Structure 1
Amino acid sequence: MVILIDSRYAAIGGVTRDHERNWIVGYSRFLRACSLFEAEVWGIFDGILILLNMGYRKISILSDNLEAVQALFELVLKESRITVLRRTQRIMRVEG
């Protein structure tokens, strides 16, 4: 995933691959001002939704942002102010 953040705007982009590392689909999203953490979670959220909508049910998430990964896999769903974090956690919980 690529995250670009300047003083006003952020954009994310990612690539999804199958278990043999073949390209499935690329995606991008323009975000308003947000933190690096939020941008990372948006990228993960978009990747999950795209793959679920394409019929994939087993998804591995690779990220170099330890804070985002830890937040997504917390056992107790905290009341976060970051809506996309709560939505991503909920999808992960429902889909297993």
Structure 2
Amino acid sequence: MDGSIRIEEGFAATGGLVHDHNGGWIIGFCRYLGNCTVIKISIQTDSLKAVNAIQEGFSRNSNSALIRRIHQILKMVKQWKIQRILREENTIANSLIKM
């Protein structure tokens, strides 16, 4: 399951899927949630470089517009965490990128 929100407007949506033991799609869903307030953000990536760039950017200014935008968003919420996960555990995100 995953979700998305436009923080400035508060529009939120979620979606998810169920797959079998081979990774085959069984059923999926998506739903508009309406106006929401973000309380906590969890970022998962298989890129150690991305984790370091986001964490180090808070101690100094980043040259990356994307990292600066991520920091702007994270400053709007009370709690956030970033976690590096193994590429093998990130199969759904990898398959979506390859579509």
TM-score by length of 1: 0.40
Structure that is richer in helix per residue: 1
TM-score by length of 2: 0.39
Larger Rg: 2
